[in-house]
Structure 1
Amino acid sequence: MTGVFGMGHGGMTDPVPAAAAIQAKEDRDSINNGSVAVETKVGLGKGVHQPLRSASYPTTHRLRRPQRLPPSQILSRPMVFSPSSPVSKPPRSVFESIYAFAPNRDTLGGTAYFIVEKDSQGRAQNLLVDTPPWDETTRQFLAEQGGVRWLAITHRTALGKAAALQKHLGCEVVIQEQEAYLLPDTPKTTFHRSLSLTPHLEVLWTPGYSPGSACVYYGCYGGVLFSGRHLLPNRQGHPEPLRFSKTFHWPRHLCQVEALRTRFSPETLAHLCPAANTGFLRGQRTIDNAYAQLQALDLDALRAAPALL
């Protein structure tokens, strides 16, 4: 008997080769249509293929390659860049001639200040106390105020981008001599114990937090002391020397606090402007009644104070 099944040995028909031939033709059609993958099965005859039936990919699903845009379309699409760092907030007024900058991430969240001063001939003698965030907001503000004559550094943590700032503004960097090496290629003026900049401005060496820590005294508004990290507000907003694990010399730090108490009086020291922890001031721009608060400090108790962090 002849037909689709063919003849086997001994006159018996063998349906496997014929059925396999039909199945192989169906599989070839499926392969040519790109709808399924195939693998060779052993035991169904030589060269017999069975389609792979996957539960997750039905036989009607076709895999497509991702579409690629031609170079002309890629180049014509606009490219959007985000700034490397957010723009800081504008400085806020503390007094008529004093401004406080937003915290600077380059100085561990430190607060820098700007003092507007003029000489007897009306020329700008403006002073920056520590480095503010160095961005377009700061550059525009300083330009509107007539530039910067001096940049006074109160401690090594406040350096930030001092070198770039000095190069852009052409100002004179004032730093205590023991920390001048931190700005090797920057023009600077060093001092030992104190340095008078104007009749109202003086830089004072107050070591303790670091070897070259300093404060800036401004003899207006009843006397304003920019205390750097020498005196900071505690959680109650009161000024206090705070001991940290990186404090250079704690006993010397306390000796300099005593020296400030001796140097000033209620008539010459009314306000403190700290370089950090300003959030503890709870909206106040300065620490007021500064001289009385310094006199209230218990330095004997502070000598045994543990380091905070």
Structure 2
Amino acid sequence: MSGTSERTQENMPLFLGNDLCAFQVDSSSTGGIAWWLGSDEEPLLIDCPDVTKKNIDILKKLARNSRPRILLTSREGHGRVAALQAALDWPVLLHEQEAYLLPALEKVETFSEELVTAAGVRLLWTPGPTPGSCVAHVHASWNVLFCGRLLSLVEVDRLAPLQTRKTFHWRRQRESLKKLRQWVPSNPLPSLALGSGSGGDDCMRLFEWDDWKEPFWGDEPMFN
């Protein structure tokens, strides 16, 4: 496991350092994990946490006087992002193929293949789990790959892609994983942060790159 963690109360975000913490998403039917990444240039909230007064207050405190951006890594991470934006007035960034799902949003930016944000965060379109799935690589300070729903925790310290009944296109997800391995800088390889999972603190941590194990690519469906 990479990093250290601290959480003092149940349902509070899990802090892995001064600038990184994870929120367990409980209200959405898909569950998942949202991440806060602090930065002097542009803090980033990756996917939508539960929109509660407690979480809003925490996010305002984390943001201080900065203007963060909300990055949505797939439609499974949208949650109640319109309500979150209404409360915080933060701009939203997502892949162009899923922007139509959120017509009520204001201050929206989209991208197609790749994008580098003002803070140097690199985004890559990785369709498969959903049409507009993407990952985010943060090299400065942390060197973490936020992989959205592209990978899941399948057993202790073992990450792999999962085909579920909500998977948009399994073959394209496999192709995205191959593309991702070529895209990520190899020296040093990043830690991995999941956007999937309902396993509590087991998923709300950073994993080593070597925890990513490729499955057997058979033709049989692998619904879970």
Q: 3-state DSSP class of the match of 2:179?
A: helix
1:169: how far off? 1.1
Cα offsets for 1:40-97 (capped at 9, x unmatched): xxxxxxxxxxxxxxxxxxxxxxxxxxxxxxxxxxxxxxxxxxxxxxx97221212331
Q: 3-state DSSP class of the match of 2:146?
A: strand
Alpha-carbon distance in structure 2 between the residues aligned to 1:273 and 1:262: 18
Matches within 5 A, 1:251-266: 251-266=171-186
Say yes or no: does 1:128 pair with 2:45.
yes
1:196: how far off? 1.3
Q: Which one-letter code corresponds to 2:178 in the other structure? A: E
Q: 3-state DSSP class of the match of 2:50?
A: coil
Corresponding position of 1:246 = 166
* Distance verdict in 2 for CA 1:174–1:268, change over 3 Å: farther
Alpha-carbon distance in structure 1 between the residues aligned to 2:52 and 2:204: 25
Query: Structure 1, unaligned stretches of length 5 or more?
Result: 1-86, 120-124
Q: Which one-letter code corresponds to 1:177 in the other structure? A: E
Alpha-carbon distance in structure 2 between the residues aligned to 1:269 and 1:280: 25
* Distance verdict in 2 for CA 1:195–1:137, change over 3 Å: same
Decide whether the 8 Å contact of 2:33 with 2:204 is kept in 1: no
How many residue pairs end up in the alignment? 213
Q: Which one-letter code corresponds to 2:11 in the other structure? A: K
Alpha-carbon distance in structure 2 between the residues aligned to 1:284 and 1:108: 16
Which one has a bigger Cα radius of gyration?
Answer: 1
- Give the TM-score of the pair, scaled to structure 1: 0.63
Decide whether the 8 Å contact of 2:14 with 2:204 is kept in 1: no
Residue of 24, 27, 35 corresponding to 1:102: 24
Corresponding position of 1:117 = 39
Cα offsets for 1:226-259 (capped at 9, x unmatched): 1110111112331211111221111110011011
Say yes or no: does 1:302 pair with 2:217.
yes
Alpha-carbon distance in structure 2 between the residues aligned to 1:284 and 1:127: 17
Matches within 5 A, 1:63-78: none
User: Once superposed, what is the RMSD of the aligned Cα atoms?
Assistant: 2.3
Alpha-carbon distance in structure 2 between the residues aligned to 1:283 and 1:209: 18
1:199: how far off? 4.2
Say yes or no: does 1:184 pair with 2:127.
no
1:287: how far off? 1.1
Corresponding position of 1:270 = 190
Q: 3-state DSSP class of the match of 2:187?
A: coil
What stretches of structure 1 move > 4 A for 4+ residues in a row? none
Worse overlay, 217-226 or 228-237: 217-226
Decide whether the 8 Å contact of 2:194 with 2:203 is kept in 1: no
Q: Which one-letter code corresponds to 1:169 in the other structure? A: L
Cα offsets for 1:161-197 (capped at 9, x unmatched): 1001112211111111110001112121111012211
Residue of 137, 140, 157 corresponding to 2:57: 140
Decide whether the 8 Å contact of 2:56 with 2:87 is kept in 1: no
Residue of 82, 85, 89 corresponding to 1:170: 89
Q: Which one-letter code corresponds to 1:306 in the other structure? A: P
Q: 3-state DSSP class of the match of 1:106?
A: coil
Structure of greater relative contact order (alpha carbons < 8 Å, 6+ residues apart): 2
1:304: how far off? 2.5
Alpha-carbon distance in structure 1 between the residues aligned to 2:136 and 2:105: 21
Q: Which one-letter code corresponds to 2:40 in the other structure? A: K
Sequence identity of aligned pairs in percent? 28
